[in-house]
Amino acid sequence: MLLGVNNLKTYFYIECGVVKAVDGVSFSLDRGETLAIVGESGSGKSVTALSLLNLISTPPGKILEGEVLLEGENILEFSEKSLQTIRGNKIAMIFQDPTTSLNPVFTIGNQVTETILTHQNISKKEAREKTVKLLKMVGIPNARGRLYDYPHQFSGGMRQRVMIAMALSCEPDILIADEPTTALDVTTQAQILELISGLQKELNSAIILITHDFGIVAGLADRVLVMYAGKAVEYADVDAIYYRPCHPYTLGLMKSVTRLDEPRREKLQSIKGSPPSLIDVPPGCSFHPRCEFAIDVCRKKIPKLIEIEPGHFSACHRVGKGGLEVI
């Protein structure tokens, strides 16, 4: 096991209350594997990713409990200095918005070289050569010539490629991609997704993919963690999630997306209501006000994540050994 996360809790203490952004999330990841964390806005998926690298600004945030085991060592206990060697070297991150993740006043070459130099003990010239190699690898045409260009001279897709090049510069074991294509167009998204999966095969790295798009998950992920209001509600292999969803929320999401591969439907099935505010999460199962299967116990008791078949976990009172009772 490359990465193990146990019972991670990250809360934010703000004026109007406590935001339980991540509330007891656990998962594990192996080399070469892709884990997708799926959820809507406010589900805590991005905070989970930031917590892995201990990148939560304190205050107002705080990692309350839990452990993040990287090759058996709990990196949450590391000092800031040793964490810095892990960030970028062992775990690297790509953000959603490539327009704000690059510094507009430095050239592309400068920024990538700088990243390499902070993590590796090589000469400036070698770093520059490596930059060219990386930019070529992520498919930037005329890489050497574009070293001296500024971020605004790159398109959104090209900037995201640069971000990927920077993230891969130290050949990290784990790549965290937080909505890497949300800001991009479909055709560019297809390019970037192909690039990511191609590089994964080449480098055998593990990927944590954070997204709200079930289409992207289907193509890239091996395992899926579905989050709702800061908690994991379902955790299973990608096939199990798509063909045998065992949580009403996952099921509802699957049914409510418009899709190209099935006949047009008269009406979409939808989940009523909207995702809750993390400041006042409903008592009991946080999904119960929106759930069509909710019964009394759902309003009172928080459901535990239980294993309903090997490797398939679901947090729902109405789920039994054979899957969702009601279906």
Partner 1 sequence: MSVLLNVENLTKYFPIKRGVIFQKEIGMVRAVDGISFFINKGESFGLVGESGCGKTTGARSILRLTEPTGGVVNFKGENILTYDRRRMRKLRREMQIIFQDPFASLNPRMTVGNIVGEPFLIHGVGDDKGRKRRVEELLDLVGLNPEHAKRYPHQFSGGQRQRIGIARALTLNPKLIICDEPVSALDVSVQAQIINLLVDLQKEFGLTYLFIAHDLSVIRHFCDRVAVMYLGKIVELAGNEDLYSQPQHPYTQSLLSAVPLPDPKKEKKRKRIILKGDVPCPINPPSGCRFHARCPIAQDICSKVEPELREVKKGQWAACHFAKPNPIPVG
Partner 2 sequence: MLKISKGLHLRDMGAKTNETSLWREIWLSLRKNKPALLGLVVIIVLVFVAIFAPLIVPCEEAIGFYPKEILRPPGAQHIMGTDDLGRDIFARVIWGSRVSVEVGILAVAFGLVIGLFMGALAGYKEGLADTLIMRAADIFFAFPYILGAIAVMTVLGPGLENVIIAIGVLEWAYIARLFRSSVFSVKVNDYVEAARAIGAGDGRILLKHIFPNAMAPVIVYSAMSVGTAIITEAALSFLGIGMQPPSPSWGLMLADSRAFMSSAPWMMCFPGLAILITVLSFVLVADALRDSLDPKLKGAV
Tokens read off for 293: 């299967």
Q: Using alpha carbons, select from 271, 218, 269 the residue that is nearest to residue 242.
A: 218
Rg (CA), the chain: 21
* Interactions with partner 2, residue window 261-300 (CB under 8 A): 275-279
At its nearest, how many Å lie between partner 1 and the CB of residue 264?
A: 6
Task: Name all contacts of 37-40 with Cβ < 8 Å and 24+ positions apart.
Answer: 37/208, 37/209, 37/210, 37/211, 37/224, 37/225, 37/227, 38/211, 38/212, 38/214, 38/217, 38/224, 38/225, 38/226, 38/227, 39/212, 39/226, 39/227, 39/228, 40/212, 40/228, 40/275
Among 66, 87, 177, 235, binds partner 2 (CB under 8 A): 87
Q: Is 188 in the site for partner 1 (CB under 8 A)?
A: yes
**Considering CB under 8 A, how many residues would be counted as binding partner 1?**
48
**Contact status: 321 vs partner 1 (CB under 8 A):** no
Contact pattern from residue 38 through residue 67 relative to partner 1, giving x for each residue in contact according to CB under 8 A and a dash for the rest: --xx--------------------------
- Find the shortest distance in angstroms from Cβ 289 to partner 1: 13
Q: At CA 198, angle to CA 192 and CA 200, rounded to 5? A: 105
Pairwise CA distance, residues 12 & 64, whole Å: 10
By CB under 8 A, tell whether 77 contacts partner 1: no
314 forms bridges with which residues in the sheet?
234, 306
Q: Which of these segments, 68-76, 93-101, 165-173, 262-270, binds partner 1 (CB under 8 A)?
A: 262-270
Question: Does the footprint of partner 1 cover residue 212 (CB under 8 A)?
Answer: yes
How is residue 204 annotated by DSSP? T
Q: What's the closest the beta carbon of residue 322 comes to partner 2, in angstroms?
A: 35
CB of 205 or CB of 314, closer to partner 2? 205
User: Which of the stretches 11-19, 99-107, 116-124, 183-191 binds partner 1 when contact is defined by CB under 8 A?
Assistant: 183-191
CB of 192 to partner 2, least distance (A): 17
Contacts of 174 (CB under 8 A, 6+ apart): 2, 3, 29, 70, 90, 91, 92, 205, 206, 207, 208
Binding test (CB under 8 A) with partner 1, winner from 189, 205, 286, 314: 189
Tell the burial category of 142 from Cβ atoms under 10 Å away from its Cβ (0-12, 13-18, 19+): exposed
From the CB of 217, what's the least distance to partner 1, in Å? 8
157 sits near partner 2 (criterion: CB under 8 A)? no
Handedness of CA 274, 277, 280, 286 (dihedral sign): positive
Instruction: Please list every residue from 100 through 129 that binds partner 2, using CB under 8 A.
Output: 100-101, 115
Instruction: Please report, as ranges, the residues that interact with partner 2 according to CB under 8 A.
Output: 12, 14, 16, 19, 21, 41-42, 46-47, 50, 53, 55-57, 60-61, 87-88, 92-93, 95-97, 100-101, 115, 163, 166-167, 178, 275-279
Instruction: Please report, as ranges, the residues that interact with partner 1 according to CB under 8 A.
Output: 40-41, 155-158, 185-191, 193-194, 212-219, 221, 238-239, 242, 249, 252-254, 256-261, 264-265, 267-272, 274-275, 290
